[in-house]
Amino acid sequence: MAIHEKSLIDPARLQTSDNLVLDGVDVSGHWNTMVLPRYLTDYDTDFARQIRTFSGGENVHRCWQCGSCTNSCTVYAQNTDFNPRYWIYLTNLGLKSEILKDKDIIWTCVSCNRCTNICPKDVKPEGVMKALAHWLEEEGHTPETRSSIFDDEFLGQVYATGRIEDTRVLVNFLRKTNQSLTPPWLIEVGKRMMKYLPVSFLIHMGLHLIFKPRTKSWGRTGDVLREYVREQKEIARKARAMPKEAVHV
């Protein structure tokens, strides 16, 4: 065993090459294990400004690390790895690589806003969590998930028709995620419906599935909405790409 107490070392910093020959000596496997240094070597001084351009992140630089947000956090009570106070600190110093380590839990904020109500510096930590989640998404750190596919399908229908059809959302979602169109739970739903037989509702649903109704006078509303969202994202993207911040920005 080359390294004792491996559990104390962040796995990403342990490097082992399976095949390595040095000066004719085979040092494959754990013989060549190296531990990368754990110190932080720089700040991304523009990062906090970028996060401030996302809705909700405007006040992130105000934080003085009292920890009221984490202490009051609903999610933290369930999962102590969920620490808004810490992520706000990392944001302000621009320690992006540290934030990325937690990319899979930052979005689990439930927006109960207890942190926002208790924050003595009005940082709005809930907003910062939202801003960070959006940043992660924008930068492509969050891969497509079933959840995001569902959201896209849902939003796509709203744009197109000004409404959603439950059945169509469900069917398209199941198709796009390569799932069976007849999962056991859906069959169960069907069975129970048969039991009470809401005839007019079923006919209604069937017709909607075929004729795809639109909200009255929806017209180009969907296109306009889509264009507005695109414009807003573009403006935000430009703001983020701005060179170095000047004072009072």
Partner 1 sequence: MQNTILVVGAGPAGLAAAASAASGGAKVVLVEKAAKLGGTPILSGYAKLVPSGEWARDAMGRMVKRVEDAKGITVYKDTKVTKLTGEVGNFTATLSNGTSVACGSVILATGFTHFDSINKPEWGFGSFEDVVTTTQVEQMVAAGKIACPSDGRVPERVAILLCVGSRDRQIGREWCSKICCTVSTNLAMEIKELSPTTDVFIYYMDIRTFGLYEDRFYWKSQEEFKTKFVKARIAEVTRAPDGRLLVKGEDTLVKRPIVIPMDLVVHAIGMDPNEDNPEIARVFGVGLEKHGFIDRAEHYTNTCGTTRRGIYAVGAALGPETIDDSISQGTAAAMRALADMNALVQKTA
Among 98, 102, 138, 165, binds partner 1 (CB under 8 A): 98
Q: Is 208 in the site for partner 1 (CB under 8 A)?
A: no
Among 25, 39, 178, 185, binds partner 1 (CB under 8 A): 39
Q: In whole angstroms, what is the distance from residue 88 CA to residue 64 CA?
A: 9
Q: In whole angstroms, what is the distance from residue 27 CA to residue 33 CA?
A: 9
How many residues line the site for partner 1 (CB under 8 A)?
A: 26
Q: Is 62 in the site for partner 1 (CB under 8 A)?
A: yes
> Angle at which helices 221-241 and 146-161 pack, to 10 degrees?
130
63 φ, ψ (degrees, to nearest 5): -65, 135
Q: Is 245 in the site for partner 1 (CB under 8 A)?
A: yes
**Per-residue tokens: 193:** 């419906």
Q: In whole angstroms, what is the distance from residue 238 CA to residue 233 CA?
A: 9
172 φ, ψ (degrees, to nearest 5): -65, -40
Q: In whole angstroms, what is the distance from residue 82 CA to residue 103 CA?
A: 11
- Closest separation between CB of residue 143 and partner 1, Å? 26
Which DSSP state fits 35?
E
Nearer to partner 1, 73 or 90 (CB): 90
Among 65, 117, 148, 167, binds partner 1 (CB under 8 A): 65
Nearer to partner 1, 92 or 113 (CB): 92
Which range touches partner 1 (CB under 8 A), out of 73-81, 103-111, 190-198, 241-249? 241-249
* Binding stretches for partner 1 (CB under 8 A): 38-43, 45, 48, 61-62, 64-65, 86, 89-90, 92-93, 95, 98, 121, 244-249
